[in-house]
Amino acid sequence: MDPELLKQLANEKMPFGKYAGRYLTDVPIAYYVWMQNKGWPAPPLGPKMALMLEIKHNGLSGLLQPLRRDGRD
């Protein structure tokens, strides 16, 4: 896994919808499942959301928290 991509995932915010302005890591898995069924947005956001779904599904989202610029745990 590319460390730079993980940093991007940890610090990117949702640009639209119900969770606009929230970090991708803070968006609930149910939203990602819903979005997968609806159809992912165009790149670069869509592939990042798909990766976040995989990370959350496998219980690994906590690994991204230390990469946040705001230092939130």
Q: pLDDT tens, 1-10?
A: 788 999 999 9
Q: For residue 30, give Cα distances in angstroms to 3, 41, 46, 49, 53.
A: 26, 16, 16, 12, 9
Over residues 9-20, the pLDDT tens digits come to 999 999 999 999
pTM of structure: 0.88
Residues whose CB falls within 8 Å of the CB of residue 67, separated by 6 or more in sequence, listed in order: 6, 7, 9, 10, 11
